[in-house]
Amino acid sequence: GLYNYYCIANNVNILGKFHGIMKESMCKTLSSKYNSTLRKIIRKYTRDKIFRVEYEDSKGKVHKREFYHDGFKRKKDARIDDAHIEPSYRAMQPTSLMARLKAGKCEYCGAEENLKMVHVRKLKDLEGKQPWEKFMIARKRKTMAVCECCYRKIHAH
Residues in contact with Zn ion by CB under 5 A are: 106, 108-109, 111, 146-147, 150
Minimum distance, C-beta of residue 145 to Zn ion, in the bound complex (Å): 9
Of 101 and 111, which CB lies nearer to Zn ion in the complex structure? 111
71 CB neighbour count, 10 Å cutoff: 10
Of 53 and 98, which CB lies nearer to Zn ion in the complex structure? 98
Of 38 and 98, which CB lies nearer to Zn ion in the complex structure? 98
Minimum distance, C-beta of residue 15 to Zn ion, in the bound complex (Å): 42
- What's the Rg (C-alpha) of the chain? 20
Distance CA 118, CA 155 (A): 9
Buried b / exposed e across 30-49, counting CB within 10 Å, b at 16+?
Answer: bbeeeeeeeeebeeebeeee
Minimum distance, C-beta of residue 133 to Zn ion, in the bound complex (Å): 15
Of 27 and 146, which CB lies nearer to Zn ion in the complex structure? 146
Tally of CA atoms within 13 A in the half-sphere of 33 that contains its CB: 13
Minimum distance, C-beta of residue 8 to Zn ion, in the bound complex (Å): 49
Minimum distance, C-beta of residue 119 to Zn ion, in the bound complex (Å): 16
Of 27 and 150, which CB lies nearer to Zn ion in the complex structure? 150
Q: Which of 30, 43, 145 is nearest to 132 (CA)?
A: 145
Q: Which of 10, 11, 12 is nearest to 87 (CA)?
A: 12
